[in-house]
Structure 1
Amino acid sequence: MAEKRRVFTAEFREGAVRIVTEPGKPVPEVAEDLGINETTLASWVSRAKRAGKATVEDRDALIVRLTSENAALKKENKGLGMERDVLKRCMVLWVK
């Protein structure tokens, strides 16, 4: 009879990956301690590294986009401030 596949919770996977990455323990040792397959744990670790790398790249792209957007908004705000000042002066002259 075929063996049933074990299902691991997300918390268990994250904890196992943290044990490997934070203290720097080798994958085979951690896999043996937890009673899971070495290749399974290695795939979890590689997936976590790829996800972390993608988020760093996304964060850098987001920073660049927000910086340029912020500069454009500052420029627009400066122009609107100048328009407001001109309109104030016009109102003062019109009231007199």
Structure 2
Amino acid sequence: MGLKRTDEFRQDAVRIALTSGLTRKQVAGDLGVGMSTLNKWITAHRDTDVVSKEDLSLAQENDRLRRENRILKEESEILKKATVFFASQKP
């Protein structure tokens, strides 16, 4: 039978999973729990105040900004490659 985790541990795991910016897989691995276990804890604590609305809102904004930043970096790399390509094309 698996190791019994305290309610405090579960709540901390949920808080980390929802606000850290890490993937659930990373959080589960770091904490030594299975993905399905972590997902069950998140589902069970979804409607509780484990994470304040403000913290959750900030975490969601951070996720959005990380995605936007990744896309902008990818676009920048594409433009750099295009600049090098067109600069090497001599008429």
TM-score normalised by the chain length of structure 1:
0.46
TM-score normalised by the chain length of structure 2:
0.48
Structure number with higher helix proportion: 1
Q: Structure with the greater relative contact order (CA < 8 A, sep ≥ 6): 1 or 2?
A: 2
Query: Rg: which structure is higher?
Result: 1
